[in-house]
Structure 1
Amino acid sequence: MSKEEMLKELSDAVISCKKDAVIAAVEKARSEGIPPAEIIEKGLAAGMNEVGILFERGKLFLPHVMMAAGAMEAGVNLLEADLPKDSVSKKLGVIVNGTV
């Protein structure tokens, strides 16, 4: 299976809201040597982006979005130990948002 196919499998697993499928796909991608950051960005996050688009179009509802987020979180939790510690803890700044 190619790298692109594995990343597509990760994305599809998030879109289907199946936590077990996400965990299996993450383990498979890790065993093939795909970097954790790439698994998150091009696999899991790509799936959540598609979920967001489907939600905006009215094809998915909030419970589906929450289940997809839970599935993605399970995948990210598996990868946390493999991520470099120094890149995660650096604070870039503060954002202030307000409305009138």
Structure 2
Amino acid sequence: MNWLEFFDGDHNARTKKAIHGVRTAKKVKKKSAFGIGIVGNIKAICGKSGVMVKIVYAPTADNYSHSEIRRLPRDDLSLLEALATEAFVDLVHNADIDEEEHGE
């Protein structure tokens, strides 16, 4: 997970920079996609299910905008479906984002 507001620029510029950060940190295949989630929605949906998640900024050496959702149960399929359909509001395909240009 990455914190888009870490970067400057408009929404599209921040999204592009975050994706470049993920690509720097790990191998991302052309058919991969990135979900854009709303932190408030994630917390609210989890709270309705009795799950108190913690979303933290957790930069790594090669991904400065890295963040984490902590205490999210991976086996609660109804919660995960609710997050996928209600909290993650946009999908960006990796193939739609150009390679990083120097000076960006």
What TM-score, normalized to structure 2? 0.30
What TM-score, normalized to structure 1? 0.31
Higher strand share: 2
Higher helix share: 1
